Amino acid sequence: MRNNVRYYRLYKGVSQRWLAQKVGCSHSTLGAIERGESAPNVYLAMRIARALDATVEELWRENHDR
């Protein structure tokens, strides 16, 4: 599942480790989410969005407009 998590994380200037710690998951889990190899549950998706000051819809929108 493609997403914009990496794009938003880099835009905000935070590391994968920082974001993972902030949202309560491992950096390897976050990496898998960013690569589209894993989909977060609803609660983790909401925590990621909140940490990046974005909405879940912005991070996982289908058309990937930025």
Is 11 part of a structural domain of the chain? yes
34: domain range?
A: 5-59
Is 65 part of a structural domain of the chain? no
Is 66 part of a structural domain of the chain? no
Is 21 part of a structural domain of the chain? yes
pLDDT of 2: 83
Instruction: For residue 13, count other CB atoms closer than 10 A to its CB.
Output: 7
pLDDT of 63: 59
Is 49 part of a structural domain of the chain? yes
Q: Model confidence over 10-22: pLDDT tens digits?
A: 999 999 999 999 9
Tokens in use for 61? 């929108």
Q: How many domains does the chain have?
A: 1
Is 23 part of a structural domain of the chain? yes
Q: Model confidence over 22-61: pLDDT tens digits?
A: 999 999 999 999 999 999 999 999 999 999 999 999 999 8
Tokens in use for 65? 């407009």
Instruction: For residue 48, count other CB atoms closer than 10 A to its CB.
Output: 26
The CATH number of residue 41's host domain is 1.10.260.40
Is 32 part of a structural domain of the chain? yes
Tokens in use for 63? 């058309």
Whether pTM exceeds 0.75: yes
